[in-house]
Amino acid sequence: MAVKRISIEDFLELAKTNVVLDVRSPSEYAHAHIPNAQSLPLFSDEERKVVGTAYKQLSRENAIKFGLDYFGPNMRKMVEKVEYLSKVSDSKPHTSKKILIHCWRGGMRSGAVSWLLDLYGFQVFTLEGGYKVYRNWILQQFEKPYNFKIIGGFTGSGKTPLLFGLQKNNQAIIDLEGLANHKGSALGGIGQEAQPSQEMFENLLGMELSKYVVQTQIFLEDESQRIGNMQIPMAMWHNMRKSLVYFINIPFEERLDYLTKEYGKQAKSELVTAIMRIQKRLGGLETKNAINYLLENNFKESFRILLKYYDKWYEKGLYNRENSEELIQKIECQIVDNEVNTNILMKFII
């Protein structure tokens, strides 16, 4: 057998059913990687630094010798790990011995591991151009003219559950807040896992987009460009801003009750910290009042202040788009009820 170098398109197609090995260093992988790829570093972070320094200051040959010192003792462990991964990865059985490998540029690191696994008997494919080519492919996904449809509504309208209600009705969706591990407001990070790096967020988002042809109607939640610390890529953001918005209009008190139930069970300390993050925009007096209500266990009145603030800013952003009157379709709903509101929305989109 011989190692085959393949394009990013062929690589990602094979990746759907075969093991993908990222042989970059642990820190490179931790920062961002191809979703579902397994980390199999040729070098530790420190070893990579030593080899890289030798390459720059001494010679390519010296760098390879240093690399062999690190690589040699680990060969057996690497083979055994790949044997295990080739049988079961992410609870999905792999029925072949096809192994996909990439490093940063498709150079010596992927070459060395590919040689070893090919020698052992695996059918090995390496990514032409490495992770760098993958990143270029990801960025290209955001430039495509996807057919987005936006689910809008003031804070507390239950827009995220509504997205999944649409999915149950066979509609294509992308959960931006789920990918970002953040619900979008000052309170949006409470109870969530740590956000990924911006690069990893883009990788996850680009892979989701790639599942659909551009003609497919894809539903997204109306977001500001920033979700916590994540930024929606500019080209995609512009596309969203010129897409049709289905605005779910629910009375203020209904939304307030929903938010109170949703966040009233959270720790006061986290809620106070979240409110302090927006104190400059909320204003000193309203910040003080919102926090005092919390300390008095009056969550509803605290959230009333926050909801009025978010309604004002959301409405400003809602209409701050070209042809807003033509793009915004208001849908009146009386309560925050996912099943009821999904049924109402489906009448407008079919």
List active site positions. Answer: 103
CA 133, distance to chain mean position in Å, is 19
Secondary structure class of 248 (helix, strand, coil): strand
Classify each residue of 16-30 as buried b or exposed e, where b means 16 or more C-beta atoms within 10 Å of its C-beta. eebbbbbbbbeebbe
Task: Assess contact for 255 and 202: CB atoms under 8 A.
Answer: no
Q: Which residue has the tokens 């009375």?
A: 251
Which of 328, 141, 178 shows the shortest CA–CA distance to 241?
328
Task: Assess contact for 154 and 311: CB atoms under 8 A.
Answer: yes
Q: Which residue has the tokens 């090919």?
A: 118
Which of 321, 336, 349 shows the shortest CA–CA distance to 153?
336
Cα(148)–Cα(146) distance, integer angstroms: 6
Query: Nearest-5° angle of CA 186, CA 192, CA 196?
Result: 95
Alpha helices (runs of H) in 122-251, residue ranges in sequence order: 130-141, 159-168, 176-180, 198-209, 234-241
- DSSP letter at 228? T
Q: Beta partners for 245?
A: 150, 328
Alpha helices (runs of H) in the chain, residue ranges in sequence order: 8-15, 26-31, 45-57, 60-71, 75-87, 108-120, 130-141, 159-168, 176-180, 198-209, 234-241, 252-263, 268-277, 279-282, 284-295, 299-319, 324-327, 338-349
